[in-house]
Chain A
């Protein structure tokens, strides 16, 4: 009697036509272990089968790109022999089911992707999306996710320097936890995953293998239903202490010359790591599963191959170097075992208790996984909203309300739970436009940001994709850093629905346009689909993580107003675009309209201008204008200043006041400029054909506009108050 019934096939998430392909590849019926391996390798999570066709259209090259997508992480050259290694990755499904462990292991996984390549992790970021604050699960999820990220990152001693957090009802049943790690390597000491050398030993090290996380990758490739919480056993458990040892042991080992190839065991564990390494090297591999260090007794080949136990690595050693590697693992008290050898067969042969338990061809699994050209339809364009038809509310009252809304409220409650200073190089802490982290022992620094505006992507995924990239570009530029490259974390609903597939296609097209026009290539990324619960999809959320370079860290720029009596200069055009704006949503209760368009050709000129002005010391503060518009940007500059320097603004009479204050026109920056520099700054803007005008002066401790004023302290209290009050309610409720 065959074990492989249609039910078993369906439980493994394999479609009937995919099973036909399996039969062709195998030339026989697979056994359960083999079927399990196909199932994880061909899951959406591991194979990118729905998105591959479109991901290929993204620009990935630039002279400074050392390694683009396809490896564990992307790598860029930052000069002086230094390379920056980075990637962002989702851990959405596990974090919803078990928020602490789900988020913690998300951090652990992305750290491993980076140090696997020979880089010491120097910064973590995270982009989080939660459901409506009034949803009964939201507090619990926020508390768990934040504690999990902190619990892991703090222990491994890598600073968590920034990120973003949104709340929206579309995430009620599918939160997003996207974690990013940035690492630093030497250009001449980078490690890749392609296996080489027939007969070379295949070595396992790190933690032992247990039964946790089996079928995590398959779970991440299906919609949630009411039974999803029964999947708790498929969530892995993290051990950050072991990860810390693993970082130190790996870097110590990498300083010797014994490693041929190395890869972490992430999603689909030993299966995907061994298949990918062998496939990239065009080789075969034979594994003796009895040699795998195990935490539990009686584990089957199926369980060993599909376990997603954390903090494990696989590497190919040079022949005869086992002792060197073992001595280092012994020092760090990590498990170490030679579990197999490379062969020339192109097949994966697994043995358990002396018998062959699986025998699969490697390339068809790893490379010939199904690739779908799924049907898609572009979403209908939303009408442009005329600001004159939108209710005008007293601007300072609206400002106060908006600064206390969940998306704009200070995220201090979150980032204070993250150690953001360990390693002693955090020059700009969380709360600014981008984090700035010095390259240790040098005068250089990287700026790091994560960005996406899901409400724009919902209204128009194409424009939203462009905007996410452009905003990342601005946030880096606003610190003075030259934007270099991005990593993307594409979070969407079920790609089998044409309207969702349309969001994916359009967002990728938009991102691609922006990345091309801004010379801002995509070097790594991750796709998370099926973010739907009972048929309701999340807002499309193509999160962008981006890295830029400051040649001279002492010139980094911050958002805080520095002096009284400075000029407040607005760069860029203001038309008062209120469609899909926060004002419309938070003040008028309307989620509608086309989002503001991004003019990419001007974007680049403006970025160059801003960086030039910062480099030449002509500005005192700089902040990009994003969520909430101009008045919010100015208020954030006041609230960030140590002495709460206010601002007196002069609104033009050509626009409705609320549209000028809260319109979200793209491509704008607010600068603080002293009287001495003003003429030169305006002249420089004119030379680059960038609109620039003085809109007010700094001074006092209030923000005034249109004859109304509000104290900066009052705004600060509203801005700082929301999240602790919201989370505090959790404490008293239990």
Chain B
């Protein structure tokens, strides 16, 4: 598997995700500057977290129009896997790779903590090392993770298995009190209809090493390496 990480001005999890990818893959990903117009031949494109362009407009709205994003969309259309984490989720959603929008957290504050997530669909390249119903712990760190989409689209997404993760308690119970940002249906991450694009607010790369407090996130990168190698 070959991977690329897109770097925007204001990206700040680009190094973190590169470290996690390298640990699972055994090779460094390409780091691609946002003004580039071409991508190397890769199987996986990661759009990392951060504050692209300071997020002074709507989060991700500026980055979605960076030159490289045309190429990312073209590759996604051709079937490359695209993983958008946190600000990356906001960017690929703004770019139209995923349905929906990410709004200000319901409690209006930036929040950084570990959360529990229930894996909703294990039949994807991102989650093949998990089982549906598994509870995993990933950190969140965002102020705009309140996912919303039109109700009829949401029902279709649920029926298609496009919900990737939902916020829950450590026993897997999904309820509003375990939802850190007010997202529709406790959604933490969603797939596109072809399951080659995943966007999620929590950061798998931040708990991919026991020394840092856990390694649930490592399984996502291991899954991708297994699927794409």
Contacts and interface: CB of A to CB of B under 8 A. Distances in A.
Interface stretch (A58-66, A417-425, A476-484, A531-539): A417-425
A239 B54 contact: yes
A301 B203 CA distance: 48
A697 to B, nearest CB: 27
A438 interface: yes
Interface string A392-435: 00000000000000000000000111111111111101000000
Contacts of B141: 154, 419, 421-422
A19 B203 CA distance: 58
A554 interface: yes
Interface stretch (B88-96, B105-113, B150-158, B188-196): B105-113
Interface in A415-459: 415-427, 429, 438
B75 interface: no
A150 B108 CA distance: 13
B10 A426 contact: no
Given A154-B110, A157-B12, A422-B12, A241 B51 contact: yes
A155 B211 contact: no
A332 interface: yes
B56 A424 contact: no
B16 A155 contact: no
Contact of B19 (A332, A417, A424): A424
A245 interface: yes
A426 B51 contact: no
Contact of A418 (B12, B50, B112, B213): B112
A141 interface: no
B215 to A, nearest CB: 13
B54 A157 contact: no
B150 to A, nearest CB: 30
Contacts of B203: 421
A332 B33 CA distance: 11
B16 A422 contact: yes
A458 B116 CA distance: 45
B205 A424 contact: yes
Interface in A141-161: 147, 150-151, 154-157
Contacts of A244: 9-10, 12, 51, 54
Interface in A196-250: 239-242, 244-245
A241 B10 contact: yes
Contact of B110 (A240, A419, A421, A426): A419
Contact of B15 (A241, A245, A423, A438): A423
Contact of B53 (A241, A332, A415, A554): A241
A155 B12 CA distance: 8
A553 B7 CA distance: 30
A423 B212 contact: no
A333 interface: yes
Nearest to B205: A424
Contacts of A420: 112
Nearest to A245: B9
B13 interface: yes
A427 B205 contact: no
A416 B54 contact: no
Given A155-B51, A240-B54, A422-B13, A417 B111 contact: yes
B111 A553 contact: no
B212 A424 contact: yes
B139 interface: yes
A495 B15 CA distance: 47
B81 interface: no
Nearest to A160: B112
Of the four ranges (under 10, 10 to 19, 20 to 34, 35 or more), the interface on chain B belongs to 20 to 34
B10 A417 contact: no
A433 to B, nearest CB: 17
Nearest to A424: B16
A419 B112 contact: yes
A676 to B, nearest CB: 24
Interface in B105-134: 109-113
B218 interface: no
A156 B11 CA distance: 9
Interface string A151-175: 1001111000000000000000000
B206 interface: yes
Interface in B63-112: 109-112
A421 B112 contact: yes
Nearest to B112: A419
A416 B112 contact: yes
Nearest to B113: A416
Nearest to B13: A422
A360 to B, nearest CB: 37
A205 to B, nearest CB: 15
A332 B9 contact: yes
Nearest to A243: B54
Nearest to B19: A424
Nearest to A443: B211
A269 to B, nearest CB: 22
Contacts of B19: 424
Contacts of A150: 110
A279 to B, nearest CB: 35
A438 B112 CA distance: 19
Given A241-B51, A421-B112, A553 B12 contact: no
Contacts of A419: 110, 112, 141
B109 A417 contact: yes
Given A241-B51, A422-B141, A156 B112 contact: no
B110 A417 contact: yes
Contact of A421 (B53, B54, B139): B139
Contacts of B56: 241
A554 B211 contact: yes
Interface string A123-155: 000000000000000000000000100110011
Contact of A427 (B10, B13, B211): B211
B145 to A, nearest CB: 13
Interface string B198-223: 00000101100101110000000000
A257 B51 CA distance: 30
B110 A423 contact: no
Contact of A155 (B10, B109, B113, B206): B10
Contacts of A156: 12
Nearest to A415: B112
Contacts of A423: 12, 15-16
A239 B53 CA distance: 11
A150 B213 CA distance: 22
Interface string B15-27: 1100110000000
Contacts of B213: 429
A276 to B, nearest CB: 30
B9 A333 contact: yes
A232 to B, nearest CB: 22
Q: Tell me which of B109, B112, B141, B213 has the highest count of chain A C-beta atoms within 10 A of its own C-beta.
A: B112
A707 to B, nearest CB: 35
Nearest to A332: B9
Nearest to B206: A421
Interface string B22-64: 0000000000000000000000000001110111100000000
User: Which 10 residue pairs of A and B lie closest in terms of their CB atoms, listed nearest first?
Assistant: A157-B12, A241-B54, A424-B16, A155-B51, A419-B141, A419-B112, A421-B206, A417-B110, A150-B110, A416-B113
Interface of B: 9-10, 12-13, 15-16, 19-20, 49-51, 53-56, 109-113, 139, 141, 203, 205-206, 209, 211-213
22 contacts: A147-B110, A154-B51, A154-B112, A157-B12, A157-B51, A241-B51, A244-B9, A244-B10, A244-B51, A244-B54, A245-B9, A332-B9, A415-B112, A419-B110, A421-B139, A422-B13, A422-B16, A422-B49, A424-B205, A427-B211, A427-B212, A438-B211
Interface of A: 147, 150-151, 154-157, 239-242, 244-245, 332-333, 415-427, 429, 438, 553-554
Given A154-B51, A244-B9, A244-B10, 13 more contacts: A150-B110, A154-B110, A154-B112, A157-B12, A240-B51, A242-B54, A244-B51, A244-B54, A417-B112, A421-B212, A424-B209, A425-B212, A427-B212
